[in-house]
Amino acid sequence: PGARVALPGEHAERAAYIVSGTAEADGRAVSATQMAVFGRGAQAVLEATTPSVVMLLGGAPVGERFIEWNFVSSSRERIEQAKADWRAGRMKLPDLDNAEFIPLPPDPPPRAEAMS
């Protein structure tokens, strides 16, 4: 308890995940399995209020995300590769949930483009 860390404001995205224990993030109570997300710019302070294990995260924003069926990525190319891998049976199914293969739905028709 009482351990304190200041997170510098230089990273655009910053957070603290409380694995176990409790803490205060800029004065707000945060419990185990919760994540405190800090605003941009200003220095943030995290202080343990009980013995705690904490994971600190920070860095540049991930960027735009794309989703299609069960695939999510920040790259359209990676989604297309995942679709090809799924269709070809190259993806390993979970050990406890592999009795049924669900085929990938057909690609949606192309979107109409605006006329200029």
How many structural domains are present in the chain? 2
State pLDDT tens for residues 5-63: 998 888 889 999 999 999 999 989 999 999 999 988 778 999 999 999 999 999 888 88
- In a shared domain, residues 11 and 24: yes
Question: What is the helix, strand, coil percentage profile of the chain, to 5?
Answer: 10, 35, 55
Whether 115 is covered by a domain: the verdict is no
- In a shared domain, residues 29 and 55: yes
- Residue 6: per-residue pLDDT: 92
Whether 88 is covered by a domain: the verdict is yes
111 falls in which pLDDT band (50, 70, 90)? confident
User: pLDDT: is 111 or 29 the higher one?
Assistant: 29
- In a shared domain, residues 45 and 11: yes
What is d(CA 10, CA 48) in angstroms, rounded to the nearest whole number?
Answer: 23
- In a shared domain, residues 30 and 55: yes
- Residue 116: per-residue pLDDT: 65
Q: 85 is in which domain, residue-wise?
A: 62-104
pTM more than 0.75: no
